[in-house]
Structure formats: C-alpha cells, structure tokens
A and B are shown apart, each in its own frame.
Chain A
C-alpha cells in the first residue's frame, strides 16, 4: 500500500509538471504566433533588400565606368587649358621680344615718357607670364583628384566583389559582373590638393636623416613618432 501511495504521489507531481507546461505554453503560444507573424512580414522586406542589393551590385560597373569617364574628361580639359596657357606664354614671349627690339633699335629716338611706358609694359608682360605659369602649376589638382577618384573606384569595386561573393555563398549564383580589382599601387587614397610646404619640410628632415642607409632602429623610431 505504501508503495502505491508513493507511485500516486509521483504521478501527481508529474501531472503538476504537465499542468505547468500547459500553462506556460498557453503564455508562449501568442509570443510564437507574433514571432511567426513578424517573420512573415520580414520575408517581403528581405526580398526587397535582396532585390535592391542585386540592382545596386549590377549598377556598380556603370558607376566605376562613369568615374573613369570623369577622369578622362578632366584630363582632356586640363590638356586643353595647358595648350591654351602654352599659347599665351608663347604670345607673351613674342610680345616681350618685340618690345625689347623696339627699345634697343629706337633707343636714341624714344623720349623718356615712351621708354617708361614700354618698361611698364615689360613688367606687365612678366607678371602675366608668372600668372600663366601659376595656372599651369595649379593644374596639378587634376592628377591629385584623379588619384582620389581612383581610390573611390577601388572602394566601390571592393564592395561589389564582397557583395558578389556574399551572393555566391548564399545562393551559389554569381550576380552581376565581378570585376578584377585594380592594383592598389596605382592610386593614393591619401592624395590631397593642399599647401605641402610644411609636409615637404618634414620630408626633407627624413631625407636628410636618411642620406646614409637607414638602420632598423632609426626606422623604428620614425614609426614610433607617428
């Protein structure tokens, strides 16, 4: 009899446990239902994201081509400006030679006022010459900008490569044309068009300090200073 009572007690304990599970499940069911609803709603969203990423990935080659076109166009425009500046410099040189010849050949016949005016013309021509040379030097911006655009291009192509790889892993399909990444050495992502005189001084110090072959200690010190 005692043994039967013990079995019955265990049975009631198990029934209590079962009751607890049912009670817990009753509370859990709405949560699971909500989770299922959430997942149902999320699927179209994920499909939209997937579609959007696919479209973006497919547009990347066009974007990189456009950046290349911009670089080519600015290089062409810069060449035209340089051609024009060269013509201006040539005209200035010619005008200067003419004025010089006039002063030298007519030296005895020119009055002081004309001589003075011609001298002023020469000064103006020299100034124009200097300004034209400065325009030429400012066009270094084209090379520096093209370096930055190449860096952006590299970044975009890296993103495309990663996305294509991700899609391949997920769906085992190759989405879009995966470009081979260009060599990183052909651009400088840190390129800036700015006054480099201070930085050039620092470079000069490094060059001076390294006229003799640099020891590893010296190189390590420079790296530590950064």
Chain B
C-alpha cells in the first residue's frame, strides 16, 4: 500500500522526530502541519494522504478537534488516525477513542511502538 502521511504537531522538533522515525521505517511520503487548521488545508491540497499522525495539545485547532472534524467530514472520514501525545490519563484516551482515533501513542515514544501502532491500524483497515 502506498502510504502518504500527514504529520501534525505544533513543535517543529516533534514533527522532525516523527518524520525521521517514519523514514527509518521506510515511509518516505509525508506532509506536515503545525495545527488542526493547517492540517485540514493540507488534506484538501493532498487528496492522496491516507494516514494522519497528530498531537493533541496545539494552539488554534487542537488534535482532538481535528480528529472530530475529520470524522465529521464525508470526504476524509476514512483516514487512519494515530494520536501521539503526552496525555496519558484514561479519560483522555477514552475521549480520543470516542472522537475517532484509531490508535494512541504516548510521548516519549520509540520507533518500535510507532511501527507497531501503524501496522495495527493498517491491519485493522485491511
């Protein structure tokens, strides 16, 4: 499957770390956004994006709001969404799941965990 990722995080550092990790996993096709609003614009501009990796805590539109917007959209609601965040409280995880994320990774993450979660999402989609 030809995967194209949208990496959404307000921290340039985190975006680079996620992208480096994706590159090491041989996923070289990606676009970046610094918050939910920019992510929605990037989705419109890149209809071939099929996987979203998003942070939760961002100024402007948060990751959770982005997930809700994607799931409410007829055009994008099929997208795979992985949330990568520092929020580890059970109520946060439940809220994210109810909003429509496919899986959830806690920061700081390892490439192994990122790989596992991406594969789990892809396997569940196939």
- Complex contacts, B93 vs chain A, CB 8 Å: 203, 206-207
Least Cβ–Cβ distance between A25 and chain B, in angstroms: 63
Least Cβ–Cβ distance between B103 and chain A, in angstroms: 6
Least Cβ–Cβ distance between A106 and chain B, in angstroms: 30
- Complex contacts, A191 vs chain B, CB 8 Å: 86, 107
Q: In the complex, how many residues of chain A place their beta carbon closer than 8 angstroms to a beta carbon of chain B?
A: 43
- Complex contacts, A141 vs chain B, CB 8 Å: 108
- Complex contacts, A147 vs chain B, CB 8 Å: 57, 86
Cross-chain contact A222 with B90 (CB below 8 angstroms): yes
8 Å CB contact of A140 from B14, B56, B58, B97:
B14
Whether, in the assembled complex, A43 has its beta carbon less than 8 Å from a beta carbon of chain B, the answer is no
Report Cα–Cα, A1/B41, bound state, in Å. 109
Whether, in the assembled complex, B2 has its beta carbon less than 8 Å from a beta carbon of chain A, the answer is no
Q: Residue on B with the closest CB to A187? A: B57
For chain A, residues 72 to 119, give those with C-beta under 8 angstroms from any C-beta of chain B: 75, 78-79, 82
Cross-chain contact B62 with A185 (CB below 8 angstroms): yes
Cross-chain contact B86 with A203 (CB below 8 angstroms): no
Tell which of B16-24, B46-54, B73-81 binds the partner: B16-24
Interface size class of B (residues with CB under 8 A): 35 or more
Report Cα–Cα, A223/B11, bound state, in Å. 31
Cross-chain contact B17 with A146 (CB below 8 angstroms): no
Report Cα–Cα, A78/B12, bound state, in Å. 9
- Complex contacts, A192 vs chain B, CB 8 Å: 86
B60-101 near A? 1/0 per residue, CB < 8 Å: 001010000000000000000000011111110110011000
Cross-chain contact A203 with B106 (CB below 8 angstroms): yes
Least Cβ–Cβ distance between A22 and chain B, in angstroms: 69
A194-215 near B? 1/0 per residue, CB < 8 Å: 1011011001001100110110
Cross-chain contact A207 with B108 (CB below 8 angstroms): no
- Complex contacts, B24 vs chain A, CB 8 Å: 133
Q: Known contacts A207-B93, A210-B94; is A186 also within 8 Å of B57 by CB?
A: yes
Name B residues whose Cβ lies closer than 8 Å to a Cβ of A. Answer: 9-14, 16-17, 20-21, 24, 56-59, 62, 64, 85-91, 93-94, 97-98, 103-111, 113, 124
10 contacts between A and B (CB under 8 A): A82-B13, A82-B16, A133-B111, A137-B21, A144-B108, A185-B57, A192-B86, A200-B113, A214-B94, A222-B94
Q: State the 4 A-B residue pairs at the shortest beta-carbon distance, nearest first.
A: A191-B86, A140-B108, A143-B11, A196-B106
